[in-house]
Amino acid sequence: MLKRFSDPDRLSRRRFLTATAATAATAGGVIAAPATADTLADVPPRGPGDDLGAYSPRSPYVQIARIPEAAPGQRNVDPSAAINSKSPLDKFVGTITPTDLHYERSHSGVPNLDPSKHRVLVHGMVKQPLVLTLEDLRAMPSISRIAFLECTGNGWENWKSAPDTVTVQNTHGLVSTHEWTGVPLSFLIDLVGVDRASTWMLAEGDDGAAVARSIPLTDEIIAEGILAYGQNGEPLRPAHGFPVRLFLPGFEGNLNIKWLRRLKFGDQPFMTRWETARYTQLRPDGKARQFQLKQDVNSVITAPSGMMRIKPGSNRITGLAWSGHGRITRVEVSADGGATWAVAALTGPVLPKAQARFQHDWVWDGRPTKIVSRSTDEQGNVQPDRASFIAQVGTNALFHYSAQQTWGIDEAGHVRNVLA
Ligand SMILES: Nc1nc2c(c(=O)[nH]1)N[C@H]1C(S)=C(S)[C@@H](COP(=O)(O)O)O[C@H]1N2
Ligand SMILES: [Mo]
């Protein structure tokens, strides 16, 4: 800890006090009479507060909401035309996403399912096919795990081109981190006696689109998959799969089938339209790659970020980093467009396949520059810059964009998206 405070790259206690004193001095025009320790100690009597209630609403001073989007580049649409709604990453602190601000991606709206009538069919290459009720699932052993969920379309804004006016909510708002609770997939596999020759599992949703995906039965998926009925301590919300969804930590959002109605075990992929016509990766040579399922190492600076404005002097750079391959081990931040890098602090907790928060205190000298973050995971994967990412993957594909995000800062302190 002492090392941290003596590190010249970080905001020291002395510098913190100088910086806040400077703010108080220059803020004279804004705050009529700056409070002193004496005036604050003398608390005036207050009247009764607002009534207590069934829910805790946000403070009226906090403006925070998702934004519905229709397609890349089509923002501020009528919600009925939206295909997703993105999380306000710029407004978050810590690592857990509030459930009501968790991004939403639904291919044909949100079905209204009665849990007492809902059933999950488990069949195919199994000894004992079962039809499970929610009560059955809740009676089984349960586990909880904090992990991220990310739409594989996250970041597509910046892959090809994007206006300089996009915010981090536009560019990266399709990722969230929660505590997920439910039945381990491995328990269910044992319960129905899945045939050892079975290598794939079909998961199908009970929505109008009946989204269905083939999932390879790798050791990792068997060990970590969850039939989740809980999110952040309460039953799933309808938008996120109530009453039960599949949760596969680290794997592309689309596989995490919401409103789960069926698991079918087989010895080959089922080739649904969701893995043939959709969710394939068109390569530069025109051939398509199927079943690219892992979310790669990623990070983004959430503040300062697109459309914010900063002042010269002390500024805190903060953001989120995550990887489908495991734990984040390092995040570096550059304040000169990638020429030099400093190691940012990970403020914890740093959990495998969960978003980790990083922070780096920085003094902006007032000259135009670019800020960018780069993350590394425990398997040694390093987040590529945009040019090398495109050199490798091209620009035909739509999914799994995970290149570094650059924010430009002009001489007036305006922060803008840059296609570096
Ligand atoms: N049944 C069903 N499952 C689904 C989807 C869907 O439209 N229907 N969307 C998928 C996609 S593309 C993503 S990114 C995640 C989004 O989950 P969320 O809305 O809870 O964030 O769910 C996946 N599971
Ligand atoms: Mo998605």
Closest residue (by CA) to atom 9 of ligand 1? 106
Contacts of 145 (CB under 8 A, 6+ apart): 179, 180, 224, 226, 249
Give the Cα separation of 211 and 17 in Å (integer). 55
> Helix (H, G, I), strand (E, B), or coil: what is residue 215?
strand
Q: How many CA atoms lie within 13 A of 28 on its CB side?
A: 4
Atom of ligand 1 nearest to the CA of 153: 14
Q: How many CA atoms lie within 13 A of 63 on its CB side?
A: 1
Q: In angstroms, how far is CA 321 from the centroid of its own chain? A: 9
Residue with tokens 């319960």: 191
Query: Into which CATH architecture does domain 104-289 fall?
Result: Alpha-Beta Complex (3.90)
CB-based contact 69:151 (threshold 8 Å): no
Write out 351-368 in H/E/C secondary structure: CCCCCEEEEEEEEECCCC
Q: Residue 222 belongs to what H/E stretch? A: helix 219-224
The verdict on the CB of residue 103 being under 6 Å from ligand 1 is: yes
What's the confidence (pLDDT) of residue 7? 46
Q: Which phi-psi region, left, alpha or beta, contains residue 134 (left: φ > 0; alpha: ψ -120 to 50)?
A: alpha
What's the confidence (pLDDT) of residue 406? 98
Regions of the chain short of the pLDDT cut 70? 1-12, 14-34, 72-76
Query: Into which CATH architecture does domain 298-418 fall?
Result: Sandwich (2.60)
Q: What is the CA radius of gyration of the chain?
A: 24
Q: How far is the CA of 96 from the centre of ligand 1 (A)?
A: 19
Write out 95-133 in H/E/C secondary structure: CCCCHHHCCEECECECCCCCCCCCCEEEEECECCCEEEC
Of the residues 85, 105, 120, which should be mutated to test ligand 1's pocket, given the most ligand atoms within 8 Å of the CB?
Answer: 105
What's the confidence (pLDDT) of residue 14? 63
Domains of the chain, by residue range, sit at 104-289, 298-418
Measured from the alpha carbon of residue 213, the closest ligand is: 1
Atom of ligand 1 nearest to the CA of 246: 24
E strands present in 249-293: 260-266, 281-282, 288-289
The verdict on the CB of residue 414 being under 6 Å from ligand 1 is: no
Closest residue (by CA) to atom 10 of ligand 1? 254
Closest residue (by CA) to atom 23 of ligand 1? 254
Q: How does strand 245-247 pair with strand 212-216? A: unpaired
Report the sign of the C-alpha dihedral through residues 67, 71, 77, 81, in that order.
negative
Contacts of 55 (CB under 8 A, 6+ apart): none
Measured from the alpha carbon of residue 104, the closest ligand is: 1
Q: Which of 302, 305, 289, 258 is nearest to 398 (CA)?
A: 289
Q: How far is the CA of 375 from the centre of ligand 2 (A)?
A: 22
The verdict on the CB of residue 391 being under 6 Å from ligand 1 is: no
**What phi and psi values does residue 261 have, to the nearest 5 degrees?**
-120, -15
- Helix, strand, coil content of the chain in percent (nearest 5): 20, 30, 50
C-alpha torsion 199→201→202→207, nearest 10: -160
Residue with tokens 């108080």: 24
Q: What is the DSSP letter of 304?
A: S
Of the residues 151, 177, 204, 231, which should be mutated to test ligand 1's pocket, given the most ligand atoms within 8 Å of the CB?
Answer: 151
Q: How far is the CA of 150 from the centre of ligand 2 (A)?
A: 7
Closest residue (by CA) to atom 20 of ligand 1? 240
The verdict on the CB of residue 393 being under 6 Å from ligand 1 is: no
What's the confidence (pLDDT) of residue 8? 44
What's the confidence (pLDDT) of residue 3? 37
What's the confidence (pLDDT) of residue 167? 95
What's the confidence (pLDDT) of residue 30? 43
| Tokens linked to 262 | 């069926």
CB-based contact 308:326 (threshold 8 Å): no
Same fold, 104-289 and 298-418: no
What's the confidence (pLDDT) of residue 83? 87
Closest residue (by CA) to atom 12 of ligand 1? 254
Atom of ligand 1 nearest to the CA of 151: 14
How far CA 247 is from CA of 45, 256, 265, in Å, comes to 50, 5, 17
Measured from the alpha carbon of residue 398, the closest ligand is: 2
Of the residues 202, 256, 279, which should be mutated to test ligand 1's pocket, given the most ligand atoms within 8 Å of the CB?
Answer: 256
Closest residue (by CA) to atom 19 of ligand 1? 104
